[in-house]
Structure 1
Amino acid sequence: MRRISLALTTAALIGTTAALAAPAQAAPAAPAAAVSTVSAKACHEDNAMIYTDGTRLRTKASTSGSVVGQLYFKDPIRILRSSGGWDYVQLKAKSKGGLAKGTRGWVSHKNIIPPFCGM
Protein backbone atom coordinates (compact mmCIF):
# COMPACT_ATOMS: atom_id res chain seq x y z
CA MET A 1 0.00 0.00 0.00
CA ARG A 2 2.83 2.36 0.85
CA ARG A 3 4.53 1.77 -2.54
CA ILE A 4 1.38 2.61 -4.44
CA SER A 5 0.90 5.77 -2.38
CA LEU A 6 4.51 6.81 -3.00
CA ALA A 7 4.18 6.13 -6.72
CA LEU A 8 0.99 8.19 -6.95
CA THR A 9 2.59 11.05 -5.06
CA THR A 10 5.67 10.94 -7.29
CA ALA A 11 3.54 10.87 -10.45
CA ALA A 12 1.48 13.81 -9.20
CA LEU A 13 4.59 15.85 -8.40
CA ILE A 14 6.18 15.13 -11.78
CA GLY A 15 2.92 15.88 -13.57
CA THR A 16 2.92 12.75 -15.68
CA THR A 17 0.54 9.91 -15.80
CA ALA A 18 2.18 6.56 -15.73
CA ALA A 19 0.73 3.12 -15.56
CA LEU A 20 1.25 1.87 -12.08
CA ALA A 21 2.09 -1.76 -11.71
CA ALA A 22 0.86 -3.70 -8.75
CA PRO A 23 3.60 -4.32 -6.20
CA ALA A 24 5.51 -7.52 -6.81
CA GLN A 25 4.44 -10.50 -4.78
CA ALA A 26 6.85 -11.78 -2.21
CA ALA A 27 8.96 -14.74 -3.23
CA PRO A 28 7.81 -18.07 -1.83
CA ALA A 29 9.43 -19.07 1.42
CA ALA A 30 12.58 -21.16 1.16
CA PRO A 31 12.39 -24.79 2.22
CA ALA A 32 13.20 -25.42 5.87
CA ALA A 33 16.50 -27.10 4.97
CA ALA A 34 17.73 -23.98 3.16
CA VAL A 35 17.02 -21.57 6.02
CA SER A 36 20.12 -20.74 8.01
CA THR A 37 19.76 -20.34 11.73
CA VAL A 38 21.56 -17.76 13.81
CA SER A 39 22.41 -18.80 17.31
CA ALA A 40 22.51 -16.31 20.14
CA LYS A 41 25.88 -15.43 21.63
CA ALA A 42 26.53 -17.29 24.84
CA CYS A 43 26.29 -15.20 27.98
CA HIS A 44 29.59 -15.02 29.83
CA GLU A 45 30.21 -13.32 33.14
CA ASP A 46 33.51 -11.95 31.88
CA ASN A 47 32.19 -9.55 29.27
CA ALA A 48 30.83 -6.97 31.73
CA MET A 49 32.00 -3.36 31.96
CA ILE A 50 31.93 -0.47 34.39
CA TYR A 51 28.99 1.88 33.84
CA THR A 52 30.09 5.06 35.62
CA ASP A 53 33.28 7.10 35.96
CA GLY A 54 34.88 7.14 39.41
CA THR A 55 33.35 3.83 40.54
CA ARG A 56 35.09 2.69 43.71
CA LEU A 57 36.69 -0.76 43.83
CA ARG A 58 36.52 -1.85 47.48
CA THR A 59 37.99 -4.52 49.75
CA LYS A 60 34.56 -5.45 51.19
CA ALA A 61 31.04 -5.72 49.80
CA SER A 62 29.93 -2.53 51.56
CA THR A 63 30.67 1.17 51.67
CA SER A 64 32.75 0.51 54.81
CA GLY A 65 35.33 -1.41 52.75
CA SER A 66 38.58 0.38 52.00
CA VAL A 67 38.88 1.83 48.49
CA VAL A 68 41.44 -0.03 46.38
CA GLY A 69 41.10 2.42 43.49
CA GLN A 70 38.67 3.89 41.01
CA LEU A 71 37.28 2.43 37.81
CA TYR A 72 35.94 4.28 34.81
CA PHE A 73 33.31 3.88 32.08
CA LYS A 74 33.96 0.82 29.90
CA ASP A 75 36.76 -0.62 32.06
CA PRO A 76 36.43 -4.35 31.23
CA ILE A 77 35.76 -6.66 34.18
CA ARG A 78 35.01 -10.29 34.95
CA ILE A 79 32.31 -10.91 37.56
CA LEU A 80 33.58 -13.64 39.88
CA ARG A 81 30.67 -13.75 42.34
CA SER A 82 27.82 -11.66 43.73
CA SER A 83 26.57 -10.88 47.20
CA GLY A 84 23.51 -8.71 47.72
CA GLY A 85 23.91 -5.60 45.60
CA TRP A 86 27.67 -6.11 45.22
CA ASP A 87 29.82 -7.97 42.70
CA TYR A 88 33.33 -9.30 43.27
CA VAL A 89 35.18 -8.45 40.07
CA GLN A 90 38.56 -8.83 38.43
CA LEU A 91 39.98 -6.33 35.93
CA LYS A 92 40.52 -7.84 32.48
CA ALA A 93 42.90 -5.05 31.47
CA LYS A 94 44.66 -2.10 33.10
CA SER A 95 41.97 0.35 34.19
CA LYS A 96 41.75 3.93 32.99
CA GLY A 97 42.45 4.87 36.63
CA GLY A 98 45.77 2.99 36.56
CA LEU A 99 44.85 -0.21 38.42
CA ALA A 100 46.71 -3.25 37.13
CA LYS A 101 45.12 -6.02 35.10
CA GLY A 102 43.96 -8.80 37.42
CA THR A 103 43.20 -6.47 40.36
CA ARG A 104 40.20 -7.78 42.33
CA GLY A 105 37.65 -6.09 44.54
CA TRP A 106 33.99 -5.36 45.19
CA VAL A 107 31.86 -2.99 43.09
CA SER A 108 28.27 -1.93 43.65
CA HIS A 109 26.12 -3.79 41.11
CA LYS A 110 24.43 -0.56 39.96
CA ASN A 111 27.81 0.56 38.51
CA ILE A 112 28.17 -2.43 36.19
CA ILE A 113 26.95 -2.89 32.63
CA PRO A 114 25.80 -6.51 32.81
CA PRO A 115 27.16 -9.15 30.45
CA PHE A 116 25.79 -8.91 26.93
CA CYS A 117 23.76 -11.99 26.09
CA GLY A 118 22.27 -11.03 22.73
CA MET A 119 23.04 -11.83 19.12
Structure 2
Amino acid sequence: MRRISLALTTAALIGTTAALAAPAVAAPAAAPVATVSAKACHEDNAAIYTDGTRLRTKASTSGAVKGQLYFGDPIRILRSSGGWDYVELKSKSKGGLSKGTRGWVSHKNIIPPFCGM
Protein backbone atom coordinates (compact mmCIF):
# COMPACT_ATOMS: atom_id res chain seq x y z
CA MET A 1 0.00 0.00 0.00
CA ARG A 2 2.83 2.36 0.87
CA ARG A 3 4.55 1.60 -2.47
CA ILE A 4 1.37 2.47 -4.38
CA SER A 5 0.96 5.72 -2.45
CA LEU A 6 4.58 6.67 -3.15
CA ALA A 7 4.13 5.80 -6.83
CA LEU A 8 1.01 7.96 -7.09
CA THR A 9 2.75 10.86 -5.37
CA THR A 10 5.76 10.49 -7.68
CA ALA A 11 3.50 10.34 -10.73
CA ALA A 12 1.68 13.47 -9.64
CA LEU A 13 4.94 15.36 -9.14
CA ILE A 14 6.46 14.21 -12.44
CA GLY A 15 3.22 14.48 -14.37
CA THR A 16 3.35 10.98 -15.78
CA THR A 17 1.81 7.59 -15.05
CA ALA A 18 4.96 5.64 -15.92
CA ALA A 19 5.84 5.38 -12.24
CA LEU A 20 2.72 3.28 -11.69
CA ALA A 21 4.18 0.25 -13.44
CA ALA A 22 4.51 -2.73 -11.10
CA PRO A 23 8.07 -3.58 -10.06
CA ALA A 24 9.60 -6.65 -11.70
CA VAL A 25 10.91 -7.98 -8.37
CA ALA A 26 9.24 -11.17 -7.12
CA ALA A 27 7.65 -10.93 -3.71
CA PRO A 28 9.34 -12.97 -0.97
CA ALA A 29 7.52 -16.05 0.27
CA ALA A 30 5.29 -15.33 3.22
CA ALA A 31 6.48 -16.66 6.55
CA PRO A 32 4.08 -18.91 8.46
CA VAL A 33 1.87 -16.93 10.81
CA ALA A 34 0.98 -18.26 14.25
CA THR A 35 -2.73 -18.34 14.97
CA VAL A 36 -3.66 -16.37 18.07
CA SER A 37 -7.18 -16.02 19.35
CA ALA A 38 -8.24 -12.53 20.40
CA LYS A 39 -10.08 -11.75 23.61
CA ALA A 40 -13.74 -10.96 23.30
CA CYS A 41 -14.40 -7.24 23.15
CA HIS A 42 -16.53 -6.13 26.07
CA GLU A 43 -16.97 -3.15 28.35
CA ASP A 44 -14.81 -4.67 31.14
CA ASN A 45 -11.62 -3.71 29.33
CA ALA A 46 -12.07 0.10 29.38
CA ALA A 47 -9.88 2.58 31.25
CA ILE A 48 -9.65 6.29 31.98
CA TYR A 49 -7.76 8.31 29.36
CA THR A 50 -6.99 11.58 31.18
CA ASP A 51 -5.79 12.67 34.61
CA GLY A 52 -8.31 14.50 36.81
CA THR A 53 -11.39 13.08 35.05
CA ARG A 54 -14.45 13.89 37.15
CA LEU A 55 -16.77 11.07 38.21
CA ARG A 56 -20.22 12.66 38.45
CA THR A 57 -23.64 11.83 39.88
CA LYS A 58 -25.44 12.84 36.64
CA ALA A 59 -24.70 12.55 32.94
CA SER A 60 -23.94 16.27 32.64
CA THR A 61 -21.48 18.87 33.87
CA SER A 62 -24.14 19.98 36.40
CA GLY A 63 -23.86 16.65 38.23
CA ALA A 64 -22.08 16.73 41.57
CA VAL A 65 -18.49 15.46 41.50
CA LYS A 66 -17.93 12.23 43.48
CA GLY A 67 -14.18 12.31 42.91
CA GLN A 68 -11.47 12.26 40.31
CA LEU A 69 -10.10 9.45 38.18
CA TYR A 70 -6.67 9.23 36.62
CA PHE A 71 -5.05 7.78 33.50
CA GLY A 72 -5.22 4.00 33.50
CA ASP A 73 -7.85 3.60 36.23
CA PRO A 74 -9.71 0.43 35.13
CA ILE A 75 -13.47 0.77 34.69
CA ARG A 76 -16.46 -1.24 33.55
CA ILE A 77 -18.93 0.60 31.29
CA LEU A 78 -22.45 -0.22 32.48
CA ARG A 79 -24.44 1.96 30.05
CA SER A 80 -24.18 5.07 27.87
CA SER A 81 -26.31 8.16 27.39
CA GLY A 82 -25.35 10.76 24.81
CA GLY A 83 -21.69 11.60 25.30
CA TRP A 84 -21.61 10.10 28.81
CA ASP A 85 -20.89 6.62 30.17
CA TYR A 86 -22.10 5.21 33.49
CA VAL A 87 -19.09 3.35 34.88
CA GLU A 88 -18.01 1.23 37.83
CA LEU A 89 -14.45 1.20 39.16
CA LYS A 90 -12.85 -2.25 38.88
CA SER A 91 -10.27 -1.42 41.56
CA LYS A 92 -9.42 1.45 43.90
CA SER A 93 -8.70 4.54 41.80
CA LYS A 94 -5.48 6.52 41.92
CA GLY A 95 -7.61 9.38 43.26
CA GLY A 96 -8.69 7.28 46.27
CA LEU A 97 -12.20 6.23 45.22
CA SER A 98 -13.00 2.70 46.33
CA LYS A 99 -13.53 -0.31 44.08
CA GLY A 100 -17.15 -0.58 42.93
CA THR A 101 -17.84 3.17 43.02
CA ARG A 102 -20.24 4.12 40.22
CA GLY A 103 -20.83 7.37 38.39
CA TRP A 104 -20.92 9.19 35.06
CA VAL A 105 -17.83 10.06 33.01
CA SER A 106 -17.64 12.01 29.76
CA HIS A 107 -17.05 9.51 26.94
CA LYS A 108 -14.10 11.53 25.58
CA ASN A 109 -12.17 10.66 28.77
CA ILE A 110 -12.39 6.88 28.31
CA ILE A 111 -10.02 4.56 26.49
CA PRO A 112 -12.38 2.31 24.50
CA PRO A 113 -12.56 -1.35 25.44
CA PHE A 114 -9.42 -3.21 24.36
CA CYS A 115 -10.22 -5.99 21.94
CA GLY A 116 -6.72 -7.39 21.43
CA MET A 117 -4.93 -10.53 22.47
- TM (norm. structure 1) is 0.69
Alpha-carbon shift at residue 36 of structure 1 (Å):
6.0
CA distance in 2, matches of 1:17, 1:86: 50
Runs in 1 of length 4+ with deviation above 4 angstroms?
A: 1-30, 33-36
CA contact (8 A) 2:52 2:69 kept: yes
From the superposition, tell whether residues 35 and 109 of structure 1 become closer, same or farther in structure 2 (CA, over 3 Å): closer
Equivalences, count = 117
| Unmatched segments (≥5 aa) in structure 1 | none
CA contact (8 A) 1:90 1:104 kept: yes
DSSP-derived class of the 2:20 partner: coil
- TM (norm. structure 2) is 0.70
Identity of aligned residues (%): 91
From the superposition, tell whether residues 26 and 97 of structure 1 become closer, same or farther in structure 2 (CA, over 3 Å): same
Alpha-carbon shift at residue 16 of structure 1 (Å):
42
- Post-superposition Cα deviations, 1:40-94, rounded to whole Å, max 9, x if no partner, equal 2111201110000000000000000000000000000000000000000000000
CA distance in 2, matches of 1:110, 1:17: 44
CA RMSD between the two structures: 7.0
DSSP-derived class of the 1:90 partner: strand
From the superposition, tell whether residues 57 and 35 of structure 1 become closer, same or farther in structure 2 (CA, over 3 Å): closer
CA contact (8 A) 2:38 2:115 kept: yes
CA distance in 1, matches of 2:82, 2:12: 65
Alpha-carbon shift at residue 106 of structure 1 (Å):
0.1
Q: More deviation in 11-20 or 93-102?
A: 11-20
